[in-house]
Amino acid sequence: MAAPWEDVLRDEPAIQEAASMAVDAALLEGVLMRTEGEPNASDVVNYAPFTLLPSAVPSALFEQAYAVQQDFNLLVDAISQNKEFLERTLASTIKVDDFTARLFRIHVQVLEEGLAQSVFLGINRSDYMFDCGVDGTPALKQIEINTIAASFGGLTSRTAAVHGQVLKVLGKSKEASRLLPNNPSIGLALGIAKAWELYGSQSAVVMFLVEEVQRNIFDQRCVENELWNRNIRVIRKRFRDVFEKGSLDDAKRLYMDGQEVAVVYYREGYVPTNYDQQNWEARLLLERSRAVKCPDIATQLAGTKKVQQELSRPGTLERLLPGRAEAVARIRATFAGLYSLDMGEEGDKIAATAIADPDRFVLKPQREGGGNNLYGEELRQVLEKIRDSPERTSYILMDKIKPQPAMNYLLRAHSPLQVSECISELGIFGVYVRQGKEMVMNKAAGHLLRTKAIEHADGGVAAGVAVLDTPYLV
């Protein structure tokens, strides 16, 4: 998978020059983040971290990832409508995991009340690594699918231009011209716009539900601006604002400050720390409303690690997607080994195997946002402690994917320029809109490549571990 820039990697003066140019190009293109010190003001901003060079991605795997995205959209949507499946799958998890349990309770309550929402919008990102088999052939293996607040579709729309310039500075114009155009922010906005249109009220707005700490605002602004360009009004609110100023009318239309809301796009609400009691109440209000939630709470639950693990059981995909054998085969081909830690013989056995050979596995709790998984010795210790307790059912086990590393430079504000051994993770954005029972949009909306130094087992860009990248197809 070697990229054709091995020759310049050790040419220090050339790398130095390219790096300083790359940083300015990133700032010019808008590959930006607010600073850690001032996450809620844009007076001083930084470039978002990125690789100096694009990373090699096998074109066959890249195409495979795009080709399966519509299947994953259908799958997530099918799960979200399958109350029995969610109930059965999450039964053991919600006994021990409070966060999933609270989400689940809202899900049940909303269904009992009767869904007011009739238009559904899904924006997800399916993430993969390229597993290096025993014979050295890389295979596409899914890490997870993010069904809520999948980020970096905006900033990644601007990285190819930066990497193109870097390659030119390094005398690689031909390679620069081969970088693919990529603009998930338009695809995401088109999905939101479609949902807004189907909601059917010209004066209604789209509400971005955002976190208290908004370092990644520019990523969101990219999508927001695409909506403004289409004359759709966007407001940015926090759970706190919804709690204070949100209300429903008799028809469960959602109002914020007297403005009707057609679509709620969550960039918040995916981790326990996003919630206090008031925020839970705000979430419930939003879920009960007629507004299009992206995602609705059932779709958020469809993205849990426990659901991912259950999907890998023989027969499950077939039951969820009846009559779609080809889609099922495409989806299954991307699965790594996934194992339930539910109490019983199956769980006992895999727990023992993982304790004996922890480097083969990753231990995952039902959390999002990076930095939660356990590896190696730590995995062994934790699993040994909980192996006989129901607490273990809040985790799943997954085969560890082992990609072939490549050398690159990771550019980060205030960090020295040094070459690192890196691995990459490819994400494909999926967008779909359903009205009642009818799918009216189902698309792959672009990609995201993130790269990190191999010494970090876990973590994404927001967690400060991975950086933005651009695929160079080989």
Other C-beta atoms within 10 Å of 260: how many? 16
Instruction: Establish whether 253 is an annotated binding residue.
Output: no
**39 sits near ligand ADP (criterion: CB under 6 A):** no
**358 sits near ligand ADP (criterion: CB under 6 A):** no
Structure tokens, 339: 């194992």
Position closest to ligand ADP via CB? 401
CB of 286 closer than 8 Å to CB of 240 = no
Q: Is 87 annotated as catalytic? A: no
Rounded to a whole number, what is the distance in angstroms from the first to the last CA of the chain? 7
Q: Which residues contact 392 (CB under 8 A, 6 or more apart)?
A: 341, 343, 347, 351, 383, 386
Please report, as a single letter, which amino acid is at residue 385: K
**376 sits near ligand ADP (criterion: CB under 6 A):** no
Please, which residue, 143 or 351, has the CB nearer to ligand ADP? Answer: 143
Structure tokens, 361: 């596995």
**420 sits near ligand ADP (criterion: CB under 6 A):** no
Interface with ligand ADP (CB under 6 A), residue total 17
Please report, as a single letter, which amino acid is at residue 68: V
Report the nearest approach of ligand ADP to the CB of residue 178 (Å).
26
Q: Which residues contact 474 (CB under 8 A, 6 or more apart)?
A: 1, 2, 3, 56, 57, 58, 59
**143 sits near ligand ADP (criterion: CB under 6 A):** yes
Spatial distance between the Cα atoms of 192 and 186, rounded to a whole number of angstroms: 10
Structure tokens, 109: 């309550």
Report the nearest approach of ligand ADP to the CB of residue 219 (Å).
16
Q: Is 83 annotated as catalytic? A: no
**368 sits near ligand ADP (criterion: CB under 6 A):** yes
From 82, 259, 372, 420, residue interacting with ligand ADP (rule: CB under 6 A): 372
From 35-43, 56-64, 175-183, 366-374, span contacting ligand ADP (CB under 6 A): 366-374
Report the nearest approach of ligand ADP to the CB of residue 400 (Å).
4
User: Which residue in the list 144, 260, 281, 391 is annotated as catalytic?
Assistant: 144
Q: Which residues contact 360 (CB under 8 A, 6 or more apart)?
A: 353, 354, 399, 400
Q: Is 144 annotated as catalytic? A: yes
Distances (CA, A) of 22 to 17, 191, 399: 9, 32, 37
Listed residue (116, 119, 138) closest to 129, CA to CA: 138
Sole residue written with tokens 């293109």: 29
Q: Is 125 annotated as catalytic? A: yes
Looking at the DSSP bridge assignments, the partners of residue 234 are: 206
**458 sits near ligand ADP (criterion: CB under 6 A):** yes
Instruction: Establish whether 17 is an annotated binding residue.
Output: no
DSSP state of 374: B
CB of 246 closer than 8 Å to CB of 286 = yes
Please, which residue, 226 or 425, has the CB nearer to ligand ADP? Answer: 425
Q: Which residues contact 128 (CB under 8 A, 6 or more apart)?
A: 61, 65, 140, 141, 142, 143, 334, 425, 426, 427, 428
From 370, 376, 405, 464, residue interacting with ligand ADP (rule: CB under 6 A): 370
Q: Is 364 annotated as catalytic? A: yes
User: Which residue in the list 46, 73, 80, 151 is annotated as catalytic?
Assistant: 151
From 31, 350, 362, 467, residue interacting with ligand ADP (rule: CB under 6 A): 362
Q: Is 455 annotated as catalytic? A: no
From 103-111, 115-123, 325-333, 393-401, span contacting ligand ADP (CB under 6 A): 393-401
User: Which residue in the list 34, 380, 434, 450 is annotated as catalytic?
Assistant: 450
Spatial distance between the Cα atoms of 280 and 273, rounded to a whole number of angstroms: 11
Q: Is 212 annotated as catalytic? A: no
Looking at the DSSP bridge assignments, the partners of residue 441 are: 433
From 63-71, 290-298, 361-369, 376-384, span contacting ligand ADP (CB under 6 A): 361-369
Binding residues for substrate: 125, 148-151, 214-216, 220, 267-270, 450, 461-462
Binding residues for Mg(2+): 144, 146, 368
Q: Where on the chain is the footprint of ligand ADP (CB under 6 A)? A: 127, 143-144, 336, 362, 364, 368-370, 372-373, 398, 400-401, 425, 458, 460
* Active-site annotation, residues: 125, 144, 146, 151, 305, 364, 368-369, 450
